[in-house]
Amino acid sequence: MGAGPGDPELLTIKALRILRLADVVLHDALVSSDILQLASSRALIVDVGKRRGRKNISQDEINRLLIQFASSGHMVVRLKSGDPLVFGRAGEELDALQQAGIDVEIIPGVTTAVAAAATAQISLTDRRVAQQLLIISAHHAHDKYDDSNLFRMVSPRTTIVVYMPGEYGIVSERLRRAGLDSSTPCLLVSRVSTSEEQLFQTTLGGLPIAPVLPAPCILIVGATVARAVSQQVRAACMNYIPLEDESLLPAQSSDFAG
């Protein structure tokens, strides 16, 4: 089940109904306490989150708990922040449950990329400047990076959303090596949809010296970021940068539909 980015009102109606019926809730560390409070008072709530800098529960242990509780006849909710199918290790858990013969239903949630774009009032795609959306993670299994595919997918007409951006300097270097200009607009959004939300606007060249915002944090890169110009967004942004490069403004054309 997807818990969304943090605001309980962004839960789907179905997610709320099932959460209230659950016997056991195994949740990520990033799931907000406001959402956990919506679970039944009789439910067993277990934090199985993985956070950098502290001893983590292993994925094998999480799989074992899921199978153990479900095999005992309990209705188990595996509650993941955002959407469970976007960088949530759902594939590994689904494999384990299916091999154990456990029936599974997936309830989607609002993924952080969409919530952050809504907060900033920008369109992730815009037929005038960006006809494709690329969602990547800066955190890789075994710390292995392979930029060969990135080079082929990135273009000035691509909006790139980076989950778990981590070392901003490394992300900036990778995207510039992939062909993006240092002046490409960037927006960091931290703890989206919560009372602790923060926004910081910069460019790809300025990203390495941007302040490290609290996790969970997401990075949006591309010309569409320049459209976040409403008064509300300017007031909320820690570092609003007026657009100086007029070439980044959408041209009035209809080359791309949709």
Let me know if residue 167 belongs to a domain: yes
- The domain boundary residue, chosen from 31, 64, 99: 99
| pLDDT, tens digit (0-9, with 9 covering 90-100), for 113-151 | 999 999 999 999 999 999 999 999 986 544 555 666 777
Give the residue numbers spanning the domain of 208: 112-248
Query: 90 and 161 in one domain?
Result: no
Burial class, 180, CB count within 10 angstroms (exposed 0-12 / middle 13-18 / buried 19+): buried
Chain centroid to CA 233: 19
Note the pLDDT of residue 245: 46
Q: Are residues 221 and 184 in the same domain?
A: yes
Q: Which of 77, 99, 121 is the last residue of a domain?
A: 99
Q: Are residues 84 and 119 in the same domain?
A: no
Distance CA(233)–CA(184), nearest Å, equals 19
Same domain, 138 and 166: yes
With tokens 């075994």, the residue in question is 142
Task: Quote the CA–CA distance of 168 and 182 in Å, as a whole number.
Answer: 13
pTM for the complete prediction? 0.84
* CATH at residue 175: 3.30.950.10
How much is the pLDDT for 238? 72
Confidence band, pLDDT 50/70/90 cuts, at residue 152: confident
Q: Per the structure, how many domains does the chain have?
A: 2
Any domain includes 35: yes
Give the CATH number, domain containing residue 92. Answer: 3.40.1010.10
Tell me which residues are annotated as active site.
28, 50, 164
Please name which of 229, 48, 231, 222 lies closest in space to residue 133, comparing C-alpha atoms.
Answer: 222
| Residue 253 counted as domain residue | no
Query: Based on the domain organization, do 65 and 137 belong to the same domain?
Result: no
pLDDT digits (tens, 9 = 90+) for 183-213: 999 999 999 999 999 999 999 999 999 999 9
pLDDT for res 79:
98
Which residues lie across from 198 on neighbouring strands?
190
Q: Which of 42, 67, 99 is the last residue of a domain?
A: 99
Mean pLDDT of 94-99: 97
Closest by CA to 237, choosing from 247, 246, 225, is 225
- Asked whether residue 105 is domain-assigned, the answer is no
